[in-house]
Amino acid sequence: MLTQIILPLFLSDVSGTEILVIFLFILIFFGSKSIPSMARTLGRTMKEIRNASADLQQEIKKSGLDVKNDLNLSSIIQKAEEEIQQPLDQVLVDINETVHYGSANLNEAAQHINQSIEQHEEANLHAEEKVEGFHATDKIEDQSASQNKNLESDGESRNHNG
């Protein structure tokens, strides 16, 4: 993996003939007897680098899981949710109590208004009956007065005739 990263960095601009020249230089400088041991050493080194890289990756993943378990995010989120939910529930209860209390007061006020209306209607009915009684009394008195006048005038006319 590391060679996949390093080789393109160094050999991206190197052509095939340039690589051949580099191999010839290594062959001349180190000799044909030391090249196989150098290749073995380079292979072992690259294997150790890959193993160390894999170990490092596993250690990072393991520490990430340890941190996740130590943090226990799900319980933290659940606690935060409960802390938020409790005041909201209390607000909901307060609103419901206010609405219930308000509706009870409204019902009570409506009952008082209905009772007052009924009392006023009864008072108006009694007043109308009294007014009608007065009118009836006035009519009777008017009729009695008319009859008395008629009787008096009949009596006078009989006295004059008699």
9 is written with which tokens?
A: 């960095």
DSSP reduced 3-state for 126: helix
Question: Could you read off the pLDDT tens digit of each residue along the chain, which spans 162 residues?
Answer: 545 555 555 556 777 788 888 888 888 888 778 888 888 888 899 999 999 999 999 988 888 777 777 777 777 788 888 888 888 888 888 888 877 776 667 777 778 888 888 887 887 777 777 767 666 666 666 666 666 666 666 656 555 555
Q: Given this model, what pLDDT does residue 45 score?
A: 92
Calpha distance 75→68 (Å, rounded): 11
Domain boundaries along the sequence of the chain: 2-72, 90-162
For the whole model, what pTM was predicted? Answer: 0.32
Distance CA 156, CA 148 (A): 12
Distance CA(13)–CA(45), nearest Å, equals 25
Helix (H) or strand (E) holding 94: helix 73-161
